[in-house]
Chains A and B, each alone.
Chain A
């Protein structure tokens, strides 16, 4: 059961975060501005990326691998596999995540979400032919959930930004969540115990390819418009994760979470002078 696939190899080995931190020390940390320069220090703290040089190297390696292997595979998948089939594959993979999602709904003490996940899982796994059809989707919209989010809701901070090999943007909290999930996932455990370890590899590869194919346009758009995709992705990831934990912004609560990240009148009017 140990290290049954790449994802769990990276995460369930709990030393990974420590190792990365150690390697980052060797690779060098970002220069921290002196506390006398308050504005520079504030900017440094906002980026929340003390091991930036190391992260950038992992990002470069990921980007290289993406351009060489993952992106071409995702493009072919999108261009050659009919949309109907892709939808069924995506629904099937999502249904397999249901036990994990359900556990997190419960841990977040959210009975509405937990009922929704349970209902969807029971309907789709039976009438929906093992999840290939999202029959329940018409009445019960899907939602995702994960342990990083749960820990965030419990008050665990994100920690420093971390780019994981192959998996991309993360942080110690979310990486820990991923590791625990891939270790505890009942579907993966069942397959492994039955001697079908290979299905877990296929599941991981297919999840990666579908996820990348669904994000082809978004990532192309970042490449088209950003002069530094690394920091754009870092900012987007952190704001998005925070918004999941604090709840989506609305007109009553527009701030995207990260304290002090949003300009107030004073800051803007000072800039205007």
Chain B
């Protein structure tokens, strides 16, 4: 595993240094990334709003979709920043798991509340300077101004993966990095304080999710 990572890292490094001399990334075809964003947002809204799925399965279906579309390991490392290197392997694993839960519950609810009155319209895609692709889209809602969203994707060994979302000029991963760095520093540089807070928060978010599902099930029964 370590050697595979090393090889991948080395390959990435060589690829990136090649790009410095030859702008070959301009050949990167942005179309698959564009298609992926279109498909993903449709599927996510479908999973979270369609009828006839068991509520328990719904969130797990969403999680599967989410994990296969987002480069969680890379985002986790970026978000923890310098604290990633200080953290023990156990702490790193704990953080990755909790951060995954955090993102899943955050976005599952957002897509659910989208409530099929919302469409994500993908308008364009361009390769960026870092072997990635930026996909331009707008979230369209009835009677409201469209919200422009940029998706930042990177090529991984299994196709394009999302590494960031830019909404109203704000980057999702930059915001998480500031939030978590601030919590770690408030705890004197100890990462366990952040892990405890995340565990608590994710627990509450999961409970709220179950409660809202029960409430909507009760609502349908009446």
Contacts and interface: CB of A to CB of B under 8 A. Distances in A.
Contact of A249 (B81, B125, B150, B173): B150
Interface in A255-273: 256-258, 261-269, 271-273
Contacts of B180: 227
Chain A interface helix/strand/loop/mixed:
helix
Contacts of A234: 178
A266 B173 CA distance: 16
Interface string A123-141: 0000000000000000000
Contacts of B178: 46-47, 231-232, 234-235
Given A43-B82, A249-B166, A251-B150, A269 B9 contact: yes
Interface string B97-132: 000001001100110000000000000111010111
A232 B179 contact: yes
A235 B183 contact: no
A16 B49 CA distance: 50
Given A43-B81, A225-B205, A254-B134, A240 B12 contact: no
A173 B134 CA distance: 32
B90 interface: no
A258 B6 CA distance: 31
The main secondary structure of chain B at its interface with chain A is: helix
Range class of the A interface residue count: 35 or more
Contacts of B8: 272
Nearest to A30: B185
A105 B102 CA distance: 41
A167 interface: no
B105 to A, nearest CB: 8
Interface string B166-180: 101111011100111
A92 to B, nearest CB: 19
Interface stretch (B40-48, B59-67, B70-78, B214-222): B70-78
